[in-house]
Amino acid sequence: METELATIHKSLVALKAYAVLMTGMFIVMVTVGFIQSGAKQTFDEITVKRIDVVNSAGRVRARLAGEFLRPGDAALAGLFFYHNYGGEAGGLIYSGNNDKDGKIDAWSLMTFDQYQNDQIVVLDYDHQGDRKRYGLTINDRPDILSAQVEEYFRLLRSAKSPAETESIKREYGSRIPARDIVARRLFAGRDVEGSSLVTLSDPDGKPRLRLKVDIQGQPSIVFLDPAGKVVRTIKP
């Protein structure tokens, strides 16, 4: 009996010693972790799904991700920037794939957004099958949205399906002047027909002057009226 008690006593002593040792190691690891968390560290390579860069107040100012999980954006990868209040300021995003028939479905986009609004400077590439278009677009947007535009956006946000969204755009959006939402003022790039092109538009986004060199190498300058009718063409 005494031998058994002695054995139990030794086991308890050993267990206590083990507990003290493990507790000490845990304290050391936590302390080292806290010390290192505030120190600069260097990595040769890291693998992450997303990185949020924050300011001193903890607000996200930039976000880098291999896959953005917003609705409809699962295939996107890139970098977004944010204003201090939380709204998007612009970004760089990529998407590329082949559809079920093997056709190319790819695009990329670099944008600069108007404060508390949307894109005003856009550099983009769009490639669908054998149709390619890429270039620089400059947009005009109002500083203050009208009540009519606010209602239009409210209707779009409440749409329950893509078909309903398109219906709202046709029936409601088509009655709003482009200058009240967004008007494209300049495009410079390559169109889907293979022409190099510069198009200048009026404040309502209607093209008025087009400088073009077509896929055959033929240059031209075209003047258009507000309805889009050609009023003068200059060729060599």
**Whole domain around residue 103: which residue ranges?**
43-128
Q: Is residue 84 part of a domain?
A: yes
Of 115, 113, 70, 69, which is closest to residue 92 (Cα–Cα)?
113
Residues 50 and 113 in one domain: yes
Q: Is residue 159 part of a domain?
A: no
Residues 12 and 27 in one domain: yes
pLDDT band at 203 (very low <50, low <70, confident <90, very high): very high
Is the per-residue pLDDT at 146 higher than 50?
A: yes
- Which of 128, 153, 168 represents a domain boundary (last residue)? 128
Bridge-based pairing state of the strands 230-234 and 60-65: unpaired
Compute the distance between CA of residue 143 and CA of residue 7 in angstroms, rounded to an integer.
Answer: 84
pLDDT tens digits for 107-121? 999 999 998 888 999
Into how many domains does the chain fold? 2
pLDDT tens digits for 61-105? 999 988 876 655 557 889 999 998 888 899 999 988 888 888 998
- Identify the pLDDT of residue 139: 96
Q: Is residue 208 part of a domain?
A: no
Q: Give the chain's length.
A: 236
- Identify the pLDDT of residue 29: 56
Distance of CA 171 to the CA centre of its chain: 28
- Which two structure tokens, joined as six digits, stand for 182? 């967004």
Radius of gyration over alpha carbons of the chain, in Å? 30
Of 173, 203, 172, 199, which is closest to residue 187 (Cα–Cα)?
199
Residues 120 and 49 in one domain: yes
Between 16 and 98, residue with greater pLDDT: 98
Bridge-based pairing state of the strands 131-140 and 183-190: antiparallel
Residues 37 and 62 in one domain: no
Q: Is residue 215 part of a domain?
A: no
- Identify the pLDDT of residue 11: 52
Q: Is residue 212 part of a domain?
A: no
pLDDT band at 126 (very low <50, low <70, confident <90, very high): very high
- Identify the pLDDT of residue 109: 92
Q: State the CB neighbour count (10 A cutoff) for residue 30.
A: 10
Compute the distance between CA of residue 119 and CA of residue 112 in angstroms, rounded to an integer.
Answer: 6
Residues 35 and 60 in one domain: no
Report the share of the chain in percent with pLDDT over 90. Answer: 45
Residues 62 and 22 in one domain: no
Averaged pLDDT for residues 134-162: 90
Residues 81 and 112 in one domain: yes
- Identify the pLDDT of residue 111: 94
Between 88 and 200, residue with greater pLDDT: 200
Residues 65 and 102 in one domain: yes
- Identify the pLDDT of residue 170: 87
Residues 26 and 92 in one domain: no
What's the whole-number average pLDDT of the chain? 84
Residues 30 and 48 in one domain: no
- Identify the pLDDT of residue 171: 85
- Identify the pLDDT of residue 27: 53
- Identify the pLDDT of residue 81: 93
Is the per-residue pLDDT at 3 higher than 90?
A: no
- Which two structure tokens, joined as six digits, stand for 2? 């005494």
Q: Is residue 191 part of a domain?
A: no
Q: How many helices (H) and strands (E) does the chain have?
A: 3, 12
Between 226 and 68, residue with greater pLDDT: 226
Is the per-residue pLDDT at 185 higher than 60?
A: yes
Helix 147-158 with 162-171: angle, nearest 10 deg = 160
Q: Is residue 19 part of a domain?
A: yes
